[in-house]
Structure 1
Amino acid sequence: MAPAASPGQRLRSSGTETPTGPDEVPQGPAVGSRLTHTAALRSRGLRVLPQISHRPSPQTPGPLPLRTSHRRSAEADARPGCAAEGAGPSADSAPSCCGVSWDNVGLLVEPSPPHIVKTLFLTNDLTEEVMEEAVQKKADLILSYHPPIFTPLKRVTWKTWKERLVVRALEHRIGIYSPHTAYDAIPHGINNWLTKGLGACNSVPLHPSTSPSYPTEGTHRIEFCADTAEHLETVLSKTKDIQEIFCLTTFPVRVEDKEQTRVSLNCSQKALLEVVALLSQNSLLDHKTEILILQKPLLPHTGMGRLCTLSKPASLSDIIERIKSHLKLPHVRLALGTGKTLDSPVKKAALCAGSGSSVLKGTEADLYLTGEMSHHDILDAVANGISVILCEHSNTERGFLSELGDMLTVQLQNKINVIVSEKDRDPLQVA
């Protein structure tokens, strides 16, 4: 991983130039999708550095998807969303960028405007029974953690239960909003709530989230040296004809005891080959030319899953009792890791609310805590000496709604009636 550069610092990887102030940063997501032309660039003798990771963005997504709006702004009026004039939430302000790409996060059903929200109804799963409860309690907006509309609907009739949910919502002018994986990722979201079942601990995201945008314009940075004023003038004049070049700067450097001018510019991937071709035509491609792949910054304390380090190790049996108490469950399912017993100490635990197989897989820990995992992933964990606790999918999520309700009540200054469903429950039970 390449070192990070704070604003004002420059990165060097050539043997003749020295980096300044390298910092270690967490490993970000792979950027292979942006390396389409890497082989072509290397065939020209260019050195393509793997990635440049910027410092995490100071802006952390808020814990709630709703905000009070005493008076609708012009921006709010210009975009869709359920808003309360005088005292209500604008549901379109959720940090949906934190949701994963396959998810369906955001406002899913919207009655015709204006739509005044006086009663907000919280549920983990929006079933027909829960919808009837919301209708009876005169809800104006349903916040359903799981999206009731996931795969696209080709029609809205009375034939299937999910279509009927949409019909009932529109008939009774009820909006439906789903935060789902955005709430999994954000600080003070569902996974952070789940960590409380372990006792006192420090936690970090297993898979950190990245900002939806780059910290600067462009996806790549190109740096090269011009040894004569003629070369420099020629290249700079021709770059004006290339679209999507940003942040062009020059500064003097000494390379191999020669005074030269270093040029640095940001560009899009589309412009990258054009710039390389221009440098090649002007004999400016050499071992000192660098192409840096820019990476989106990490969002602090935000991401999927959590790796928890307990303040004080506890036995597995104690952890089980803590989790059952936190989730208000009479039982959980347990797979003991190879060589482990109920008395084995737990120092590190990896967790993921809901279905944790893909998030937890490969993580080194004493314990995996999640709602459900595939049979073969459980076998892999056990073979590696990792114990697994399963609580059923929605049992690791639903308890968060009470905490969320309290936070929303405070945030909305008691101007909205916030209700948590009494009918919502996990569909599985012990027979």
Structure 2
Amino acid sequence: FLKNCRFHFLIWVQVIVGNPKVHDAIQANVPLVSCHLKVSLRSRHENGVPHTYCMLRVCLSRGPQVFLHTRSLLGASSRTLMDLKALVSSLNDFASPSLAESWDNVGLLVEPSPPHSVSTLFLTNDLTEEVMEEALHFKADLILSYHPPIFRPLKRITWKSWKERLVIKAFENRVAVYSPHTAYDAIPNGVNDWLAKGLGACTTTPLQPSMSPSYPSGLSHRIEFCMDSSQAVESFLAALQVIPGTSVYTLPSRSQGTDQTHIVLSCAQAALLSVMGFLSKDKHLCDNIQISSLQKPLLPSTGMGRLCKLIDAVSLKAVVERIKKHLALPHVRLALGVGKTLDSLVTIGAVCAGSGSSVLQGVDADLYLTGEMSHHEVLDAVARGTSVVLCEHSNTERGFLLELKDTLAAHLENKVQVVVSKKDRDPLEVV
């Protein structure tokens, strides 16, 4: 019945006077929909901009699901729209998902059926049900949730689990969900660099530097061997060079009074078997071949955690007050290192947003700053004379979103509205 039924209803939309985007966007993007804008009933000025409330009569011949497709178009009538795929590509350029930890689940997690345009980008540290309702109130088309709301595989999508309900609401309301998580931890001027500012003026280096996701030349292995110069070296090299994904150069050498040619061959992983198959035809060569794996280059200022060298040494008490001010927290948890007091000087700090025990373990520093560590990990740190400040997991991450708002707005050339959640908060509080 619903498939063949026609639906007639009236909806109110707010548009800028003289802006035809609503009418044009619906007719261009929604199939089999007829639209008519009637004379405005009232208008008013908001922030000096004239707004008109118009009545839009819509006739649908494809059922109510078509109306869901128009939601973002109607809500975005006075804003610039950005295609979801283009926006995700820009987000990936800003912080490549390849920088995330291997165990993480980052990138686009929920994608409405295309086409999907984004007018409002909504930022949150954690996507809870309360935050989802807030995002829907702001008519968000894309939610950027720092922590991935989908982390472990979902075997079913039902109303019983709160995370499954988030997925259902996202699809029902045509809201995309994207998560950067540890990719934002790694990038320069990302979450960890923001957290390091809480210690005061300092220079920072990553505790665990990130490697380039690929080899600059695409060549991953080096093969070295020598041939007597009396052999047909030129024809041998010519046969090697026709193998795709290889690079060959030679050096003159001398061994046991015999002139030789030292051959260095670099190749891609895909070419390694072909190269070895060719070289294995000469048993003497196989006995003298050296194979080594090339290291991917480290990325400057990129990686997990930060080692912070303060420009001026200050007391532990002063650093704690700086941290509380930076994170807007009335209280933090402090464990004094053995032999340390609140008056002890801090010259080197190590920070890691979130749960930093694995990154901070064994780092030589006066102070560790992170969200959470286990009881025994704290005992290990203080036994080495390192004081520990714990602020709860998400409190060491959330404040970054305020900086990210302006950064992303500029990166996206102000094509979308960027909103930061006010409902998002750490579930733990001191009472």
Q: TM-score, normalised by structure 2?
A: 0.75
Which has the larger strand fraction? Answer: 2
- Taking the aligned partners of 2:170 and 2:272, their CA distance within structure 1 comes to 50
Q: Which residue does the alignment assign to 2:351?
A: 351
Deviation at 1:235, TM superposition (A): 4.7
Q: Which residue does the alignment assign to 1:50?
A: none
CA contact (8 A) 1:219 1:269 kept: yes
Q: Which residue does the alignment assign to 2:393?
A: 393
Q: Select the structure of larger CA radius of gyration.
A: 2
CA contact (8 A) 1:402 1:420 kept: yes
- Taking the aligned partners of 1:227 and 1:150, their CA distance within structure 2 comes to 58
- Taking the aligned partners of 2:231 and 2:308, their CA distance within structure 1 comes to 59
Q: Deviations over 1:252-293 (max 9, x none)?
A: 344566432221112356765876683694424677x54332
Higher relative contact order (CA 8 A, sep 6+): 1
CA contact (8 A) 2:221 2:269 kept: yes
May I ask how many residue pairs the two structures share in their alignment?
A: 350
DSSP-derived class of the 2:192 partner = helix
DSSP-derived class of the 1:230 partner = coil
Q: Which residue does the alignment assign to 2:196?
A: 195
CA contact (8 A) 1:231 1:282 kept: no
- Taking the aligned partners of 2:258 and 2:314, their CA distance within structure 1 comes to 63
Deviation at 1:172, TM superposition (A): 1.1
Q: Which residue does the alignment assign to 1:12?
A: none
CA contact (8 A) 1:92 1:107 kept: no
Instruction: Evaluate the alpha carbon distance shift between residue 270 and residue 175 of structure 1 in structure 2; reply closer, same or farther with a 3 A threshold.
Output: closer
Q: Which amino acid aligns with 2:306?
A: R
- Taking the aligned partners of 2:362 and 2:234, their CA distance within structure 1 comes to 53
Instruction: Evaluate the alpha carbon distance shift between residue 91 and residue 408 of structure 1 in structure 2; reply closer, same or farther with a 3 A threshold.
Output: closer
CA contact (8 A) 1:82 1:117 kept: no
Q: Deviations over 1:193-229 (max 9, x none)?
A: 0011011000000000011111233322012221233
Q: Which amino acid aligns with 2:322?
A: R
CA contact (8 A) 2:348 2:367 kept: yes
Q: TM-score, normalised by structure 1?
A: 0.75
- Taking the aligned partners of 2:145 and 2:120, their CA distance within structure 1 comes to 14
Question: 247-256 or 421-430, which moves further after superposition?
Answer: 247-256
* Structure 1 alignment gaps of length 5 or more: 1-69
Q: Which residue does the alignment assign to 2:156?
A: 155
Q: Deviations over 1:17-36 (max 9, x none)?
A: xxxxxxxxxxxxxxxxxxxx
CA contact (8 A) 1:91 1:107 kept: no
CA contact (8 A) 2:81 2:117 kept: no
DSSP-derived class of the 1:129 partner = helix
DSSP-derived class of the 1:369 partner = strand
- Taking the aligned partners of 1:202 and 1:375, their CA distance within structure 2 comes to 30
CA contact (8 A) 2:81 2:415 kept: no
Deviation at 1:401, TM superposition (A): 0.5
- Taking the aligned partners of 1:187 and 1:291, their CA distance within structure 2 comes to 35
Deviation at 1:375, TM superposition (A): 1.2
Q: Which residue does the alignment assign to 2:15?
A: none
- Taking the aligned partners of 2:401 and 2:174, their CA distance within structure 1 comes to 23
Q: Which residue does the alignment assign to 2:215?
A: 214
Q: Deviations over 1:295-339 (max 9, x none)?
A: 111111100000000001111000000000000000100011111
TM alignment of 1:52-71, pairs within 5 A:
none
User: Does 2:311 correspond to 1:301?
Assistant: no
CA contact (8 A) 2:350 2:368 kept: yes
User: Does 2:192 correspond to 1:204?
Assistant: no
TM alignment of 1:14-53, pairs within 5 A:
none
User: Does 2:175 correspond to 1:184?
Assistant: no
Deviation at 1:152, TM superposition (A): 0.8
CA contact (8 A) 2:332 2:391 kept: yes
Instruction: Evaluate the alpha carbon distance shift between residue 272 and residue 412 of structure 1 in structure 2; reply closer, same or farther with a 3 A threshold.
Output: closer
- Taking the aligned partners of 2:294 and 2:89, their CA distance within structure 1 comes to 37
CA contact (8 A) 1:217 1:246 kept: no
User: Does 2:338 correspond to 1:338?
Assistant: yes
Q: Which residue does the alignment assign to 2:416?
A: 416
TM alignment of 1:11-410, pairs within 5 A:
81-83=84-86, 90-93=90-93, 94-230=95-231, 232=233, 235-236=236-237, 239=240, 246-255=246-255, 258-268=258-268, 278=279, 281-284=282-285, 290-410=290-410
- Taking the aligned partners of 2:193 and 2:299, their CA distance within structure 1 comes to 15
Q: Cα RMSD (Å) of the superposition?
A: 2.6
- Taking the aligned partners of 2:96 and 2:273, their CA distance within structure 1 comes to 35
Q: Which amino acid aligns with 1:322?
A: R
Instruction: Evaluate the alpha carbon distance shift between residue 240 and residue 195 of structure 1 in structure 2; reply closer, same or farther with a 3 A threshold.
Output: closer
DSSP-derived class of the 2:294 partner = strand
Instruction: Evaluate the alpha carbon distance shift between residue 239 and residue 83 of structure 1 in structure 2; reply closer, same or farther with a 3 A threshold.
Output: closer
Q: Which amino acid aligns with 2:391?
A: C
Instruction: Evaluate the alpha carbon distance shift between residue 137 and residue 326 of structure 1 in structure 2; reply closer, same or farther with a 3 A threshold.
Output: same
CA contact (8 A) 1:123 1:424 kept: yes
Instruction: Evaluate the alpha carbon distance shift between residue 279 and residue 412 of structure 1 in structure 2; reply closer, same or farther with a 3 A threshold.
Output: closer
Instruction: Evaluate the alpha carbon distance shift between residue 245 and residue 135 of structure 1 in structure 2; reply closer, same or farther with a 3 A threshold.
Output: closer
DSSP-derived class of the 2:348 partner = strand
DSSP-derived class of the 2:377 partner = helix
- Taking the aligned partners of 2:86 and 2:303, their CA distance within structure 1 comes to 28
Deviation at 1:231, TM superposition (A): 5.5
Q: Which amino acid aligns with 2:301?
A: H
CA contact (8 A) 1:313 1:345 kept: yes
Q: Which amino acid aligns with 1:310?
A: L
Q: Percent identity?
A: 62
- Taking the aligned partners of 1:269 and 1:177, their CA distance within structure 2 comes to 32
Q: Deviations over 1:122-158 (max 9, x none)?
A: 0000000000000011111101000000001112221
- Taking the aligned partners of 2:374 and 2:280, their CA distance within structure 1 comes to 53
DSSP-derived class of the 2:134 partner = helix
Q: Which residue does the alignment assign to 1:4?
A: none
DSSP-derived class of the 1:314 partner = strand
